[in-house]
Structure 1
Amino acid sequence: MLKHFLVVITAISACSFLYGVYNYNVEIESNACQMTYMFAPPQFSRIDFEENDKFRNYGLYYYNEGRISIEVHNTQFTGAPVIFVPGNGGSYKQVRSLASVALRKARESATGIHLDYFTIDYNEELSALYGDYLERQTLYLKTCIKIVRKLYKSTEQAAVIIVGHSMGAVVAQAVLRDPEFSKFINTIVSLSSPINKPILVLDEKIHAFYKSINKNISVRRSSLKLNKNSNFCCATCSRFLISNHTNNADKNLKNVLIITIGGGNRDVLVPPGFTISKYSDIHAMTMSIPKVWLSCDHLSAVWCLQLVQVINRYMFDISVSDKQNFIYFTKDRIRREQAALTHFVKLNINQSKEINIEQEGRHNSVWREDTLRVFSKAFKEGSKSNFIQLIPLRRHKKHTKLCIDVTQLESDDFLFGCTVKSRFKNDWFCQDKASLSHNFQILPSIKNKMRSVAILDINNLKKTYVNWTHVGFFVRASRKPKVYHVDMFNPAERNMVFNLPRWSTFQKTILVNESSQGTLYYKLLVQGIEETFPTIELRIVPLSCIGDLNSIIIKMCIPWAPGFNKYQIIRYLNAT
Structure 2
Amino acid sequence: MGDPNKYRKSRSFQRRLTLLTSIALCALLTWVGYWSYSTDQAMSGLWGCEMAYMYPSFSPLEGVDTAGSRYALFLYREGGMDPPVPSGHPVIFIPGNAGSYKQARSIGASVAAQFHKGRDTTWTKSVDLFTVDFNEDLSALHAPTLRSQAQFLVKAIARVYRAYEHLPADERPAKVILLGHSMGGIVARLASTMAQPTMWQPSPVDVILTMSTPHLQPPAPLDPEMERIYAEINSVRYSDPSPLLISICGGTSDVQIVSDACALTNSLIGRDDGFAVFTTGIPGVWTGVEHQAMVWCDQVRYRVARTLLDMGEAASRQGKLSAAQRWLLGISETQPALPTLDTTTRVEVVASRMAILLKLTYPTEVSLVSPPVTAQFCEEEGVCSDQTFFSYSVPWLPVSERPFPLLGEGSRPEESVFVLDFDLPEVNRGWLEIRHPLGASVHSGPLVDQTVVGSRWSEWHHRTRLNA
Instruction: Select the residue among 243, 251, 269 that pairs with 1:264.
Output: 251
Q: TM-score, normalised by structure 2?
A: 0.77
Query: How many Å apart are 1:482 and its aligned residue?
Result: 1.8
C-alpha distance in structure 2 between counterparts of 1:450 and 1:388, whole Å: 20
Q: Structure 1 unaligned runs (5+)?
A: 223-244, 321-329, 361-381, 394-398, 422-428, 496-522, 527-535, 542-552, 557-576
Alignment of 1:304-323 (within 5 A): 304-320=297-313
Q: Is the 8 A contact 1:130 1:202 kept in 2?
A: no
Match of 1:472 among 428, 432, 439: 432
1:524 aligns with 2:463: no
TM-score w.r.t. structure 1 length?
Answer: 0.63
- Distance (Å, rounded) in 2 between the aligned partners of 1:307 and 1:80: 20
Question: Which of 64, 71, 78 in structure 2 is aligned with 1:65?
Answer: 78
Matched, 1:173 2:189: yes
Seen in structure 2, the aligned counterparts of structure 1 residues 525 and 33 have a Cα distance that, compared at 3 Å, is closer
Change (3 A) 1:8 1:538: farther
Alignment partners' CA distance in 2, 1:69 and 1:305: 20
Instruction: Tell me, in whole angstroms, the C-alpha distance in 2 between the residues paired with 1:78 and 1:69.
Output: 10
Q: Helix, strand or coil for the counterpart of 2:65?
A: helix
Residue number among 28, 34, 47 corresponding to 1:15 in the alignment = 28
The residue that corresponds to 1:335 in the other structure is: 319
Q: Does the 8 Å contact 1:43/1:69 carry over to 2? A: no
In 1, the alpha carbon distance for the partners of 2:64 and 2:149 equals 17
Which position in structure 2 is the counterpart of 1:509? Answer: none
1:87-98 alignment runs, 5 A limit: 87-98=96-107
The answer as to whether partners of 1:290 and 1:347 remain within 8 angstroms in 2 is no
Q: Is the 8 A contact 1:354 1:435 kept in 2?
A: no
Match of 2:119 among 110, 114, 121: 110
Q: Given that residues 52 and 59 in structure 1 are in contact (C-alpha distance below 8 angstroms), is that contact kept between their aligned partners in structure 2?
A: no
Q: What is aligned with 1:389?
A: 346
SS at match of 1:283: strand
Computed over aligned residues only, the root mean square deviation of the Cα atoms, in angstroms, reads 3.4
Please give the alpha-carbon distance, in whole angstroms, between the structure 2 residues aligned to 1:144 and 1:303: 24
Residues 1:158 and 1:22: Cα distance change in structure 2 (over 3 Å): same
Q: Structure 2: which 5+ runs fail to align?
A: 1-13, 398-411, 464-468
- C-alpha distance 36-58 of structure 1, shift in aligned 2 (>3 A): same
Q: Tell me if the contact between 2:154 and 2:194 (Cα under 8 Å) persists in the aligned partners.
A: no
Deviations 1:47-104 (A, max 9, x none): 111625431x21111111338999xxxx642111110000000001000101011111
**Contact 2:46–2:287 (CA<8 Å) still a contact in 1?**
no
> Which residue identity does 2:442 align to in structure 1?
Y
Share of identical aligned residues, percent? Answer: 24
Alignment of 1:483 onto 2:441: yes
Measure, in 1, the Cα distance between the counterparts of 2:152 and 2:321. Answer: 29
Give me the whole-angstrom Cα distance separating, in 2, the residues matched to 1:145 and 1:319: 17
Q: How far apart in 2 are the matches of 1:96 and 1:538?
A: 36
Q: Given the alignment of the two structures, is residue 452 of structure 1 paired with residue 423 of structure 2, yes or no?
A: no
Partner in structure 2 of residue 430 of structure 1: 383
Distance in 1 (CA, whole Å) between partners of 2:85 and 2:76 is 14
* Structure having the larger proportion of residues in helix: 2
C-alpha offsets along residues 286-316 of structure 1, whole Å, 9 cap, x if unaligned? 1101121111000000001111111111111
In 1, the alpha carbon distance for the partners of 2:75 and 2:457 equals 51
**In structure 2, how many angstroms separate the alpha carbons of the residues matched to 1:554 and 1:89?**
42
Q: Does residue 404 of structure 1 match 2:417?
A: no
The answer to whether the 8 A contact 1:318-1:336 is kept is yes
Q: Which amino acid aligns with 2:264?
A: S
The equivalent residue for 2:61 is 47
Question: Is residue 2 of structure 2 the alignment partner of residue 36 of structure 1?
Answer: no
Pair 1:539–1:352, CA change in 2 (3 A) = closer
Q: CA deviation at 1:418?
A: 2.7
- Check 1:98–1:353 CA distance in 2 against 1; reply closer, same or farther (3 A cut): closer
Q: Pick from 120, 139, 158: which aligns with 2:174?
A: 158
